[in-house]
Every structure is written in C-alpha cells, then in structure tokens.
Amino acid sequence: MEFAILGPMLVLDDEGVRAVPAAKQRILLAALLTRRGRVVPSDLLAEMVWDGRPPRSAAITLRNYVSRLRNALGAAGDRVETLAGGYRINIEAEEFDAQRFELLRDQGVAALRQGAFELALELLDRALRLWRGPALVDVPSDRLQLEQVDRLAEGRLDALEARLEAELRLGRSSAVIAELRRLTAEHPGRERFWAQLMTALYGSGRQGEALAVYREVRAILAEDIGVEPGSELRELHRRILCGEPWLEVQCGRPRRVAPLPAGPERAGSEQVGPERVGPEPLPFQIPPQEPDFVGRLAEISVLATELDRADRDAPCLLVVSGQPGVGKSALAGHVARRARSSSPAGTLFADLRGTDREPASPCSVLRTFLLTLGVPAEAIPAGTAERTALYRSVLVGRRVLVVLDNARDGAQVRPLLPADPANATLITSRSRLADLIGARQVELEPLTGGEAQLLLSRTVGPERIAADPAAARRLVTACGRLPLALRICAARLSARPLWTVRYLADRLTDGRRLFDELRLGSLDLRAALTLSHDALDPASARAFRLLAQPDIPAFWTATAAELLGQSRREVERILETLLDAHLISALAPDRYGYSDLLRAFAREQCLRWDSAQERSRVLMRAALRPVGEWHRPRMGLVVGG
C-alpha cells in the first residue's frame, strides 16, 4: 500500500489507485495518517471532520464514516483499528509519502553536512519528487490545514534550501540562478534563498549582480517588515565586497591552499606535508536534536542575540549552567542549529566529559579541532600551548562557533577558547564557571509545568496526557520538571501502552523507589546526580547529605553551621560550593534550600555514606530549634570555633 498526502490524496495498492471520493472520509484518513501509529480520540476526529462543529449524532456518524473508509481501502481496510476511545491506522513509514519525505530530507541534510554533496543531492531530489502539489490540497478541514500544512510546507522549503546548497557546492551556480530568482519572489522573507542567489551569481562571475541582490533584499525587508538583513546576509555581502577565498568553497571551485607554517618541533623544514587541494567541507558537529525539545524561549533569545552580534570587539563567550538533567546540552545544541547563519564558517563540538573520572584533555580536543579545520596531522604540534596558538591562528576571521559540552572547570576550557572577535564559544557545565572572566552566564532552571506536560505529550501522545491531567501534574512534580526525568517517564509510558499516566505517577510517589523508577537503559537520573555528588570534596558532599535530613523549607548559613557543628566560615565555603554545583538553590542572600528531588537524592545517599549516629545528631540539633525559627538565623551563634 501507498498513502500520499503531498498533493491530492492518493491511495494505491496492487490493483491501482483506490478512490476515496467522499470529503469526510478523506479528512478522516488524513487525520489518521498524520498521527500514524497513534490512537486518535473520537472527539478529536469529530472536531476535524466537522471543523469544530460536530453534530449531536457525531459518534454514530463517525462510526459510519470509518466503516465506509474501510470499504474504500479494500483489503487494507483492516488497518484502521477501533480501540478504546478512538481509532488508529497501522502502516509502515515507507508506505506514507510524508514520512518518506522527512526521512530522505534528514538523510540528505546529514550527507550535506558531511561534505557528501552528490549523495545529498540525490537524496534531496528524491525527497522533493514526492511532492505533487500543496499538501492536503483536497482535504477540506481547517483544523488539519492549520496543524499540518504549514509544517509540511516548511519542511519542503528546508529541503529545497539544502538541495540548492548541494548544487552550489558542486559548482552548479549558473544552473540554479533562475530557480532562486523564482523562490526569492515567492518567499521574499526567507533570507537563505537570497543568500544562495547572491552566492550563485558570484560563482557565475557576476559580482555586481550579487551586490545588487543584496540592495534589493535590504529594501524589501525594510519596506515590508521594517528590519535590516540578518547576520548571514550581512556577512556574505562583506565577503563578496572583499572577494574572500571562502566564497570559492561555497561555489564549488577547487582552490589551492597554501601549506601551513611548521610547528616549533618542525622548525627548519621547508615543507610541512603536501598542499591540500579542493574545498574543505564546513564542519557542523552538533549531535542530533532531541525530538521532544520544548520551551526555553527566554534563554534561546538571550543566547541567539549574543551569537548574532556582528560588531563584537571580543570573542563571544557564553556559559549555560544548571543541575544534572535540566537540559543544558539540548539547549546548546538547539541554539547552535539556529545560529548556523551566525557562524558561516562552521560549528565545532566537543564533549569535555567534565563529570567523568577522566575528563577530556584540552590537548586531545585541540588535535581533533585542528584536524577538522584542515590542518595536516604532521603539522600539529605536540604541546597544549603550541596547539592552542595554532588553533587560534587558524580560526582568525573564520566566524566559527565552538560548542564545549559538559565542561569541568575554567582550566579545562581556557586552552579551547578562540581569540578572534569573529568567533564565539558556547559552554555547558554543571558548575557556573565563574572564573571565566567576561562570560555571559545563563542559568537553566527546570521547565515550567506546561512545558513539562508538552514534553511528555511529544512522546506519549497528547490524548494520554489529556485523559488524566491531574495525574500528569503529579508526574511532572515528582520528576522535578527535569527534562531527563520526564524523558525517562515518557519513554516508559510509550513502551507500555497499557500503563496509564496515573499508574506511573503512583509508582513515583513511593520515595523508596523513586530513583529506581527514573531509570531506563542508559537514561538514569540517579547516575547523573551521583556524578555531581562524587565530584564534590568530602566536606561538601557530607554537608549536602546531612543538611537534607531535617524537614525544613530553607536555612541560613548560621543554621547550617549549627546543624553540621562547624564554623560559619567553613560552612560558607561549603554552601558556595554546593550552590556553584547546582545541588542547592539560593532563595535569598545567605538563604538556601533543596528541591524535592535533590532532597530525596541527598537522603538516599546519606543512608549509603553516613552513620545512623551522624544522621541522628543532625536531626536532634534540628529538633532543638522551633520550626518557626528556621527562616531566620540566631544572632551571634558560633559553632565549632
């Protein structure tokens, strides 16, 4: 069977085209196809079939429509299943043109980023040939049009951009100019098409026309939207004015690259390896996007604004910090993908493994970066300082984004920071890395309740979340609104369709098994938190565990000193360490607290590491202070010296 919605709806089997002549049946089939493999509630189907105005007899009439659809599909009619509360269609991805398109598009884009331009062009051409006209053109449902058509059309434009980039990189500038002129006229606000048109004209030896296109798009944007061209267009305009060699790579012209200077250990040699001939593919090493990424609009705006600035007088340095499992790496990857136009010379990525027993050494990361940037292996010096100097020289003027994930401390990061103001570095860490002078700090908090439920619904399906919103809120609270914990729960619910959200929420309320429930394969919240705990010095780790024992909402430095039986000066240092590691929260100056999830983890670890006598001593000291006094310190109290 083949089901097609990228144009007029088609259903084909071994006997040929299956007609679905009735509009209501086409709406029903399209609604099931676009939610392939998931149960679509009857009331949602009724909303789509009757465009938000279902009749009183909708349930009975809908059953009749389903029966007629099964008859229209012939032998494949049994693929439409009736389940509790709704219907589902069971088809494979390769049987549905929209799914095949997205798969081919993603494979083509991946090949493009790896420099396999011929393969990328083949895959993207195959993807685009699946389109026979506007998606769902003969499906008269405003609800489906609103939900699906814009998304599918945007995906097609993304594929077109990628296919045109592949053609440009293969040296086919003249062949794509006419198509790009048509696309810029049809989509005047899509700046990537304008940039590709400018590149194609330059690659065809028409530099003056390329500059005229920039003036044209600048006037259009100013008149229609009231904005200036974005950083990609501005940077491309500057490069065309200067005739930079970088443009030769974008146009697919082979070029000779002068050999790099010898490293210190090669001094005196006349040649360092052979000359490199031909264009180097631009690096884009960011891991794949999490499919359920949600929210973070404020943080994305801050980071994107900093990366997009074209008038920097110093390298852009951004640090995203937060507790384990809060989604730092996912945010960094999302921002890096959005910022590709701000880093036209490519994006480097390294996992620094800052929480491992053996984190990545700057020296080894520098070697990988230099190889990626086209430096021959024999030209790479042996020492970290020499590699840093060469790395910074190679990056001069390139406008590269460097993403350093999971950094341990400032010392690990400093040798990897570019020096040219054109470059930018985005770092994630469980620590604030406050010793990186000049860094813009972005501290990541857990998701909001609404964002957390949306993340769940992306994997589980909105109908299961909507079926019991109270249980969904309980589950979100038990997970501390942490993306890692929510992702584990979503994966477990998806793998067990008979589980309800309430059933899993009930399992999470048992504090003794909470962290056993928040584990699935390599996803393990306890393991993530344990890495942060084990990285602490012994005194800070002990304080983290013991201060979580009393049932108190918050505490001051003086009260923490009282509980631990230590000096205030030492406890101040400990609390700052825990705060920098995001294992406690600052509620006010000199006032601290735990999230419910971190308190539960600290208590679990306390049973493992601390004696019953130590736990009892802390609880006894807490009992001596009236509950109402925990919100203020006892003046003049000094414990332990």
Mean pLDDT of 319-333: 94
The mean-pLDDT minimum among 43-52, 281-290, 344-353 falls in 281-290
**Would you say residue 97 has pLDDT above 80?**
yes
165-182: pLDDT as tens digits: 999 999 899 999 999 999
Let me know whether 234 and 374 are in one domain: no
Q: What is the pLDDT of residue 162?
A: 94
- Alpha-carbon torsion (242, 243, 249, 255), positive or negative: negative
Does pLDDT of 38 surpass 90? Answer: no
Do the domain assignments include residue 137?
yes
Instruction: Classify residue 292: in a domain, yes or no.
Output: no
Q: Examine the domain organization and report whether 466 and 485 are in the same domain.
A: yes
Kind of pairing between the strands at 86-89 and 40-41: antiparallel
Q: What CATH number did the domain enclosing 216 receive? A: 1.25.40.10
pLDDT digits (tens, 9 = 90+) for 575-619: 999 999 999 999 888 899 999 999 999 999 999 999 999 999 999
Average pLDDT, integer, range 86-90: 91
Whether the pLDDT of residue 231 is over 80: the answer is yes
Within a domain: 264: no
Considering the domain architecture, whether residues 422 and 462 belong to the same structural domain is answered as no
With pLDDT > 90 as the criterion, what percentage of the chain qualifies? 49
* Residue that finishes a domain, picked among 168, 197, 218: 168
pLDDT level of residue 466 (50, 70, 90 thresholds)? confident
Q: How confident is the model at residue 279 (pLDDT cuts 50, 70, 90)?
A: very low
Q: Verify that 540 and 582 share a domain, yes or no.
A: yes
- Residue 641 belongs to some domain of the structure: no
Q: Is the pLDDT of residue 21 over 70?
A: yes
Position 19 pLDDT exceeds 50: yes
Cβ pair 427, 443 in contact under 8 A: no
Last residue of a domain, one of 110, 141, 168: 168
Instruction: Assess if residue 634 is contained within a domain.
Output: no
pLDDT band at 630 (very low <50, low <70, confident <90, very high): low
Q: Which band of pLDDT confidence, cut at 50, 70 and 90, is reported for residue 477?
A: very high
Residue 93: the pLDDT is 82
Tell whether the torsion through CA atoms of 18, 22, 24 and 26 is positive or negative. Answer: positive
What mean pLDDT value characterizes the chain?
86
Q: What is the pLDDT of residue 522?
A: 82
Please give the residue range of the domain that contains residue 211: 171-258+277-281
User: Residue 379 CB: number of other CB atoms within 10 A?
Assistant: 16
Residue 453 has pLDDT above 60, yes or no: yes
Indicate whether 454 and 583 sit together in one domain: no
Whether residues 148 and 53 share a domain: the answer is: yes
Average pLDDT over residues 613-636: 70
- The reply to whether 265 falls in a domain is no
Q: Is residue 266 part of a domain?
A: no
My answer on whether 432 and 482 are in the same domain is no
- In this model, does residue 637 exceed pLDDT 90? no
Q: What is the pLDDT of residue 58?
A: 87
In terms of average pLDDT, the best of 12-16, 74-78, 79-83, 270-274 is 79-83
Residue 270, in any domain of the structure:
no
Q: Answer yes or no: is pLDDT of 271 > 70.
A: no
Residue 365 pLDDT exceeds 90: yes
Task: Flag whether pLDDT at 101 surpasses 90.
Answer: yes
Q: Above 90 in pLDDT, residue 355?
A: no
pLDDT for 633: 52
**281 pLDDT exceeds 70?**
no
Edge to edge, the sheet with strand 80-83 lists 40-41, 86-89, 80-83
- pLDDT computed for residue 384 by the predictor: 93
- Total tally of structural domains belonging to the chain: 5
pLDDT of 523 > 90? The answer is: no
What pLDDT was estimated at residue 241? 87
CA 409 to mean position of chain CA atoms: 23
The residue from 526, 553, 587 where one domain ends is: 526
Mean pLDDT, rounded, for 518-536: 90
Task: Measure the CA dihedral 615/618/624/630, to 10°.
Answer: -120
Same domain, 176 and 164: no
Domain co-membership, 398 together with 411: yes
Same domain, 86 and 4: yes
- Give the pLDDT score at 226: 81
Top-confidence residue, 245 or 546: 546
In what helix (H) or strand (E) does residue 443 lie, and over which residues does it extend? strand 440-443
Residues 6 and 135 in one domain: yes
Say whether pLDDT at 442 is over 60. Answer: yes
Going by pLDDT thresholds of 50, 70 and 90, the confidence category of residue 629 is: low
Q: What pLDDT is recorded for position 286?
A: 86
Say yes or no: 155 and 227 in one domain: no
Query: Which two three-digit tokens encode residue 213?
Result: 């296109």
Residue 67's CATH number: 1.10.10.10
Please state, in angstroms and rounded to a whole number, the distance separating the CA atoms of residues 473 and 509.
12
- The answer to whether 373 touches 349, Cβ cutoff 8 Å, is no
Could you tell me the CA-to-CA distances from 153 to 36, 150, 158, 194, 480 in Å, in that order?
A: 19, 5, 9, 19, 37
